[in-house]
Amino acid sequence: MAKRILAALLFLFCAGIVFWFALVHTVHRGTLAVPYLVERNLEEARRRVHDLGLEMRVEDPGVFSTAVLPGAIAFQEPPPGFHVKSGSTVTVRVSLGGKTIDVPEVRESSLNTAQREIERAGLVPGLHARVKGEGAADRIIATGPPVGQQVAPVTRIDLLVNTAPHRQLWVMPSLVSQSLGPVEQFCRLNRLRLGRAREVNYPGVPSGLVLRQYPPAGSPVAPSEIITVWVSR
């Protein structure tokens, strides 16, 4: 009994193989296998398909590829090994090389705006370092890689952002014991803001002399700060 079952299974196996070969032969009768065209130049590929009795059509636009040299075939349809009838058309697209993107101009933009522009360009906002006093507040002053450089898609773009505006500073001079008139002229010529003088009684001192000042002498002072003086009445 076991021998009969084994013989039956062997017969079915052999019959299946014969049927498969017959089917493949029938399906592929009068057909051609599409050759592998990727990485070939157009002239070589066209000659190859014509020799096999096929046609080739170059489809635009090309495709970006880092694996295939620009101008060579990077895509084909039908794929290699696919069986087609004689005279069928194989569509190909050539490589445009690796796609590059210019780092967008985001200098003088706010951090949020710069990050949105970078994402819109197909890049990735990276780290952002912060400095102070190098320009307007919350403004990008540099990128890495720099603006205008061509980079691959999804490249990370780091940002340098200025967090505090640049301030011009002076060293506060001593105004004590000087007359109010020359002090006012000095501040006006040097673009310093002198507030209203505060008069105080100080016996034995001529009127109009500076007795005290703020900020004190030697302190840093910006043009926007108001200088206060106390003068004798």
pLDDT by residue (tens digit) across 58-101? 998 888 888 898 899 999 999 999 999 989 999 999 998 888 89
What integer pLDDT is reported at residue 27 of this predicted model?
43
Q: What is the mean pLDDT of the chain?
A: 86
C-alpha 25/C-alpha 4 separation (Å) is 32
Residue with tokens 């694996």: 67
C-alpha 179/C-alpha 91 separation (Å) is 92
What integer pLDDT is reported at residue 38 of this predicted model?
95
Q: What is the pTM of this model?
A: 0.46
As annotated, the residues of the chain forming the CATH 3.30.10.20 domain(s) are 32-98, 101-164, 170-232
Q: What is the CB neighbour count within 10 angstroms for residue 165?
A: 13
CATH number of 32-98: 3.30.10.20
**Confidence check: pLDDT of 14 > 80:** no
pLDDT higher at 143 or 31: 143
Which amino acid appears at position 145 of this protein?
Answer: P
The SS3 call for residue 15 is helix
DSSP states of 107-142: TTS-HHHHHHHHHHTT-EEEEEEEEESSSSTTEEEE
- Calculate the alpha carbon distances from 127 to 26, 150, 156 in Å: 62, 19, 8
Q: pLDDT of 96-143, one tens digit each?
A: 888 889 999 999 999 999 999 999 999 999 998 988 877 788 899 999
**Confidence check: pLDDT of 24 > 60:** no
Class of domain 170-232: alpha beta
Going by pLDDT thresholds of 50, 70 and 90, the confidence category of residue 23 is very low
Please state the rounded mean pLDDT for residues 188-197: 89
User: Strand 150-151 to strand 170-171: parallel, antiparallel, or no bridges (unpaired)?
Assistant: unpaired
CATH number of 101-164: 3.30.10.20
What is the dihedral sign for C-alpha 82, 19, 5, 3?
Answer: negative
**Confidence check: pLDDT of 20 > 50:** no
What integer pLDDT is reported at residue 133 of this predicted model?
76
**Confidence check: pLDDT of 220 > 70:** yes
C-alpha 126/C-alpha 184 separation (Å) is 51
Please state the rounded mean pLDDT for residues 18-43: 70
Please tell me the chain's helix, strand, coil percentages from 3-state DSSP, rounded to the nearest 5. 25, 30, 45
Going by pLDDT thresholds of 50, 70 and 90, the confidence category of residue 26 is very low
